[in-house]
């Protein structure tokens, strides 16, 4: 299998990861598509330098988050909230409107967080351990724990105010 074929397979296997990052850091479908392309381009540029010293998903998250943050810094518009109606929620056979409303509320509150807090919550909701989050973000695991604890309290307070 050629290098290009391996890369395409890697992107296909982890497209959900890229989609999650683009959803959190963009405001509309067009921006999301642009950011997706930018992330794939940056992954391709750094593909040769990936030495399998960490998990592939860790490397991809780091590149995706760095790309999203760089693009956000370059934007003069700054971050905006995504209308919750645009967030794709998976429907299940046991559709529960109360659960969906609560989920929308949580996502709306996450959209109000700063860029680092969003990244931390995205990775936490993805099921990443503090050590892996620390490696992706570039801070210590204990700092991750402290920040996540503060973010959870912040979200809880904001939700209770609703």
- 70 and 130 together in one domain: no
* Torsion over CA: 154, 160, 161, 162 (sign): positive
**Quick one: angle between helices 3-13 and 15-24, nearest 10?**
60
- The whole domain housing 55 covers 1-78
Neighbouring CB atoms inside 10 A of 99's CB total: 12
**pTM (global) more than 0.75:** no
Lowest pLDDT segment from 78-87, 115-124, 136-145: 78-87
Inside any domain, residue 20: yes
Residue 45: CATH number of its domain: 1.10.1740.10
Please write the tens of the pLDDT for every residue from 108-137: 888 888 888 988 988 888 888 999 999 888
Inside any domain, residue 5: yes
- 141 and 102 together in one domain: yes
**How many domains does one find in the chain?**
2
With bands split at pLDDT 50, 70 and 90, how would you rate the model's confidence at 161?
Answer: confident
pLDDT(96) > 80: no
């Amino acid at each position: 299998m050629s290098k290009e074929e391996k890369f395409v397979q890697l992107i296909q296997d982890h497209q959900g990861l890229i989609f999650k990052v683009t959803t959190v850091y963009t405001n509309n479908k067009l921006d999301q598509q642009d950011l997706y392309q930018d992330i794939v381009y940056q992954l391709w540029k750094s593909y040769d330098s990936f030495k399998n010293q960490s998990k592939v998903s860790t490397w991809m998250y780091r590149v995706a988050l760095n790309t999203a943050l760089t693009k956000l810094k370059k934007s003069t518009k700054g971050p905006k909230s995504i209308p919750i109606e645009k967030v794709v929620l998976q429907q299940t056979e046991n559709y529960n409107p109360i659960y969906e409303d609560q989920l929308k509320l949580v996502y709306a509150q996450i959209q109000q967080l700063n860029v680092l807090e969003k990244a931390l919550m995205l990775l936490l909701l993805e099921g990443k351990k503090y050590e892996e989050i620390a490696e992706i973000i570039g801070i210590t695991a204990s700092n991750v724990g402290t920040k996540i604890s503060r973010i959870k309290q912040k979200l809880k307070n904001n939700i209770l105010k609703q």
